[in-house]
Amino acid sequence: MGNVQPWFILAMCVAGGITSIPMHMQYISTRGQTPPLSFEKTVMTGLAPDGGLLLPESIPDVSGALSQWRELPYTALAEQVMSRFFDMTPELQALISPSYATFRSPEVAPVVSWAGEPLHIMELFHGPTLAFKDVALQWLGNLFEHILEKHDSHLNIVGATSGDTGSAAIHGVRGKPRINIFIMHPKGRTSPVQELQMTTVLDENVFNLAIEGTFDDCQAIVKDMLADAQLHRRYSLGAVNSINWARVLAQVVYYFYGVFRVQERTAAATVDVTVPTGNFGDIFAGYVAMRMGLPIRRLVLAANDNNILERFFTTGEYRRGTVRPTLSPSMDIQIASNFERYLYYRSGCDAQKTAALMSEFAAGGSIRLDGGDPAFAAGSAGRDETLEAIRWMKQRFDYIPDPHTAVGIHVARQRLDPAIPMLCLATAHPAKFPDAIRQALGDVRPAHPLIDALEGLPVRCETLSAAAAEVRRYVIEHAQAGNR
């Protein structure tokens, strides 16, 4: 375990993962070589100095509070859930309301249901960039700004995106004077709308970088920069990818909200949840909610043709493959960053074992774990299944999902249990992916005024190779030296 980790972490894992809320929550690394950090330090650090990911030292048991939380509006629920993980309650209250004031649904994450149907859809795309990433990144942008003002500091964010994270992160921090943001996307591998949502933002603190490679190349460059202690310290580097714990924490909230809505409509004691995922961050947030006591029976992981995670949960082998372009580009990933957090719990909270497994994966491109996890099921959808799921939803419910959500719907239909309602996460608005919708439905074109407004706008973007040294030079030339 290592001497920096509290003794009760092991007890938590052996007993099943639930502890009561500590007075002052500290954060530890999955690799065990970083001393415990405060919440603020965790937010501003992003990746742990030892190369691991940061996690709370314990997961609070909130099962006794669920009955009081069920009727809370989204923002009040967010305060309750997030306050269990850090003691900034007055500041938290001041940050949450403005973070969700720009959402076009007063519920933030409304649940769509149909009478007599076991399938329910939670819409997470009502924020400014029409993707689920807004739920976390509007909050994270305000949190960054608050901490920086408090300490009179500056931050240079480096991030990688397969499509939606970049635009959501940019819109979360654009125009903030203490923050510069450098977002890398794989050139030509995002949807045209996703690219426009990033490159049409011309604020001076925003730098869009088209990388001649894959998302995994972009993500590796980000991790390389964040792992350089001298560079990290000199330029106050920060992370907005889901390696940042604060982003995962904000996503935990909507699992509570969605499960509560399904339960009140069905009187079900427990709910299954299907999550289309590529980087394992969204579904890991659901795993945290489950460990907190939320009555989720099973998390159903939905992958596209880049199905490294499905293969792991069905065979026990986590093996890197070649990224294949699909209709759901935000899931075109072969190395899932947040998998390391899950691996830590799966390894019995043994940081040494987790570090050894990650080293083995880095060296050979694969690892294997024995035994399964009843908390998870998994499936995948190829191109034809994705298009068929879009057509099925339109014909049966007159509802059009985006291709990522369609992947989830296909897998959810294979895993439906008549006795247990299924909540499927809708991760983006279909107007962001008109080509996929056209392939499924012909002349049908879902529109949205935010998307229509992008046409004809000027853009700004730099194209760089996938060489880490070239990207590093660019960031150093344009970054403001930090002082935190």
Nearest to 332 by CA among 378, 279, 274: 279
- Parallel, antiparallel, or unpaired for β 155-160 and 54-56? unpaired
- Parallel, antiparallel, or unpaired for β 27-29 and 54-56? antiparallel
Contact assessment for residue 250 and residue 225, using Cβ atoms and an 8 Å cutoff: no
3-state secondary structure of 124: coil
Nearest to 108 by CA among 120, 119, 100, 97: 100
Query: How far is Cα 207 from Cα 301, in angstroms, rounded to an integer?
Result: 33
Tokens of 205: 């603190």
Catalytic residue among 41, 133, 187, 394: 133
Tokens of 8: 């009760």
H-helix or E-strand spanning residue 288: helix 281-292
- What is the phi-psi region of residue 288: left when phi exceeds 0, alpha when psi lies from -120 to 50, beta otherwise? alpha
Tokens of 397: 């419910």
By residue count, the chain amounts to: 484
Q: Which residue has the tokens 């694969």?
A: 366
- Going from the C-alpha of 408 to that of each of 187, 291, 360, 414, 464, the distances in angstroms are 26, 22, 31, 10, 33
Beta carbons within 10 angstroms of residue 171's beta carbon: 23
The per-residue DSSP string of 200-229 comes to T---TTEEEEEEES-HHHHHHHHHHHHT-H
Strand partners, 422: 119, 272
Query: How far is Cα 289 from Cα 61, in angstroms, rounded to an integer?
Result: 10
Beta carbons within 10 angstroms of residue 374's beta carbon: 7
The per-residue DSSP string of 317-373 comes to EEE-------S-GGG--SS-TTHHHHHHHHTTS-HHHHHHHHHHHHHHSEEE--S--
Q: At a CB cut-off of 8 Å and minimum separation 6, what does 131 contact?
A: 124, 125, 163, 164, 167, 168, 330, 427, 428, 429, 432
Annotated catalytic residue 133: yes
Sign of torsion over alpha carbons 47, 48, 52, 54: negative
- Point out the residues that are catalytic: 133
